[in-house]
C-alpha cells in the first residue's frame, strides 16, 4: 500500500528538471516536499499524475501506472491541486468543488441525458458532501459566490476541497498554503492532518519550512531536480545542502 516513484527523470530541452528522483508515500503519512523555485517540485507532481511522461516508473498499491492517462490515475485514487488554481471562474464555488466528484458519478451518460430522478438525487447527495468539505476549509460563506470573486489563497483552499471530494487515497498538494492568512493556514493544517488521519497519503509542497516541517512525518528536499536530503523533518531542515540552497553558501557554518 504505497504510492512510489522510482528514478524519475525529466528533461526539458537542455534543462534537467528531474534527475532520478524516487519517493514513497504510505497511507496516513504526510511527505513534505521542499526546494527553491524551479527545483522541479511541480514537475514531479506532473510525473506522478501523468501530465508529462518521465523516464522511470510510478507504482500505486503494487500496480505500475506509468503508462496510464491522467484521468485513469485519478480513478486509481491520485488527486492533486494546482499551484496556480485552475477552474471556471464563472461558476460557483460549490460547482467548482463538485467537479471533483467526476470519477464517482454513479449514473452513466444515458441516465444523464434522460435526466432520470436518480441523477437529481445523487447530485443532491454530492452537493451535501461538497458543502461539508467547503465548510471544513472555511469557505462555507462563499459557496454560492462566483469562484472568480475569491482571493488567490481562497482559490487554493477551493482546490484542496475539490481534491478531497474525489475521495483520493493519495493527495498531492502544490503549495496550498501560499497566500493564506493565519486563520486559514490553521484550518488548512487541520484539514491536512485530518485527511492523513483518515488514511490518505499526502505529498505537500510548501515553501514555508516551519509550516511544512511541523506538519510532515518526513521531508524531502529537491534542488535542481536532485534529491539533496530526505528523512526526519528537523534533520532535513538543518542539513547543509538545504540551508545552502535556501539561504546561500554564506549561511552554511
Partner 1 sequence: MTRSVRLSRISPVLIILGIAITLAIAGEVRPSIYATSVTIGFFSLLALPLGLLYGQGGAISLAQGGFAAVGAFTTAILTVKFGWSPFASLVVSVGLPAILAFVIARPLLRLPELSLALVTISLVMIFKVVFERAERLTGGYNGITGIAPLPIIGVERSYAHWTVWTAVLIVAYCYASYVESGRGRALNAIRVDRLLAESTGTNVALELSSLFSLSAGIAGFAGWFYAHYIGFMAPDSLDPTLSANILFMVVLGGRKSVLGPIVGASLFTLASDLLPGTVTQGMIFGSLLIVILVFFPDGIVSPGMMRWTRRRATTIPEAKNTPGVRLERA
Ligand X SMILES: Nc1ncnc2c1ncn2[C@@H]1O[C@H](COP(=O)(O)OP(=O)(O)OP(=O)(O)O)[C@@H](O)[C@H]1O
Residue 64 has φ and ψ, to the nearest 5°, of: -75, 130
Nearer to ligand X, 46 or 239 (CB): 46
CB-based contact 172:82 (threshold 8 Å)? no
Terminal-residue alpha carbon distance, the chain: 40
Taking CB under 8 A as the criterion, the residue among 22, 26, 29, 51 binding partner 1 is 51
* 64 lines the binding site for partner 1 (CB under 8 A): no
Binding segment for partner 1 (CB under 8 A), chosen from 2-10, 56-64, 82-90, 236-244, is: 82-90
Taking CB under 8 A as the criterion, the residue among 146, 207, 217, 241 binding partner 1 is 146
Return the one option of Mg ion, ligand X, partner 1, none that residue 181 interacts with (CB less than 5 to 8 A, by type): partner 1
CA distance 184 to 154: 9
CB-based contact 220:39 (threshold 8 Å)? no
CA distance 85 to 147: 11
CA distance 116 to 162: 25
In the shown chain, the binding pattern of residues 102 to 131 toward partner 1, with x for contact by CB under 8 A and - for none, equals xx-x-x-x--xxxx---xx-xxx-xx---x
Angle in degrees, 0-180, between the axes of helices 182-197 and 117-136, rounded to the nearest 10:
120
Taking CB under 8 A as the criterion, the residue among 11, 135, 193, 214 binding partner 1 is 135
Q: How many residues bind partner 1 (CB under 8 A)?
A: 61
CA 103 from chain centre, in angstroms, equals 17
Binding segment for partner 1 (CB under 8 A), chosen from 3-11, 23-31, 91-99, 216-224, is: 91-99
Binding segment for Mg ion (CB under 5 A), chosen from 19-27, 34-42, 190-198, 227-235, is: 34-42
Residue 232 has φ and ψ, to the nearest 5°, of: -55, 130
In the shown chain, the binding pattern of residues 36 to 75 toward ligand X, with x for contact by CB under 6 A and - for none, equals -xxxxxxx--------------------------------
- H or E, element range at 44: helix 41-49
Taking CB under 6 A as the criterion, the residue among 3, 5, 17, 137 binding ligand X is 17
Residues in the chain: 253
Binding segment for ligand X (CB under 6 A), chosen from 9-17, 99-107, 149-157, 180-188, is: 9-17
| 169 DSSP 8-state letter | S
* 42 lines the binding site for Mg ion (CB under 5 A): yes
* 203 lines the binding site for ligand X (CB under 6 A): no
CA distance 233 to 90: 40
CA distance 122 to 140: 21
Binding segment for partner 1 (CB under 8 A), chosen from 24-32, 96-104, 221-229, 235-243, is: 96-104
Residues at the interface with Mg ion (CB under 5 A): 42, 83
Residues at the interface with ligand X (CB under 6 A): 12, 15, 17, 35, 37-43, 83
Amino acid at each position: 500500500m504505497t504510492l512510489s516513484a522510482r528514478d524519475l527523470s525529466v528533461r526539458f530541452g537542455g534543462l534537467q528538471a528531474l534527475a532520478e528522483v524516487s519517493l514513497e508515500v504510505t497511507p496516513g503519512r504526510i511527505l513534505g516536499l521542499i526546494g527553491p523555485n524551479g527545483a522541479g517540485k511541480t514537475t514531479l507532481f506532473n510525473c506522478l499524475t501523468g501530465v508529462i511522461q518521465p523516464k522511470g516508473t510510478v507504482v500505486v498499491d503494487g500496480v505500475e501506472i506509468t503508462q496510464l492517462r491522467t484521468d485513469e490515475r485519478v480513478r486509481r485514487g491520485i488527486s492533486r491541486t494546482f499551484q496556480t488554481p485552475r477552474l471556471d471562474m464563472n461558476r460557483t464555488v460549490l460547482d467548482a468543488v463538485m467537479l471533483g466528484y467526476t470519477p464517482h458519478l454513479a449514473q452513466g451518460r444515458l441516465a444523464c441525458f434522460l435526466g432520470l430522478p436518480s441523477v437529481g438525487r445523487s447530485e443532491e447527495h454530492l452537493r451535501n458532501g461538497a458543502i461539508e468539505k467547503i465548510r471544513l476549509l472555511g469557505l462555507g460563506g462563499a459557496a454560492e459566490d462566483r469562484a472568480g470573486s475569491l482571493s488567490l489563497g481562497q482559490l487554493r483552499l477551493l482546490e484542496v476541497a475539490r481534491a478531497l471530494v474525489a475521495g483520493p487515497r493519495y493527495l498531492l498538494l502544490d503549495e496550498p498554503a501560499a497566500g493564506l492568512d493565519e486563520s486559514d493556514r490553521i484550518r488548512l493544517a487541520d484539514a491536512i492532518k485530518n485527511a492523513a488521519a483518515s488514511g490518505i497519503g499526502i505529498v505537500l509542497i510548501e515553501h514555508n519550512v516551519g509550516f511544512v516541517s511541523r506538519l510532515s512525518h518526513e521531508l524531502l528536499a529537491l534542488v535542481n531536480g536532485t534529491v539533496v536530503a530526505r528523512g526526519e523533518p528537523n534533520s532535513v531542515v538543518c542539513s547543509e545542502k538545504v540551508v545552502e540552497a535556501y539561504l546561500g553558501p554564506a549561511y552554511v557554518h
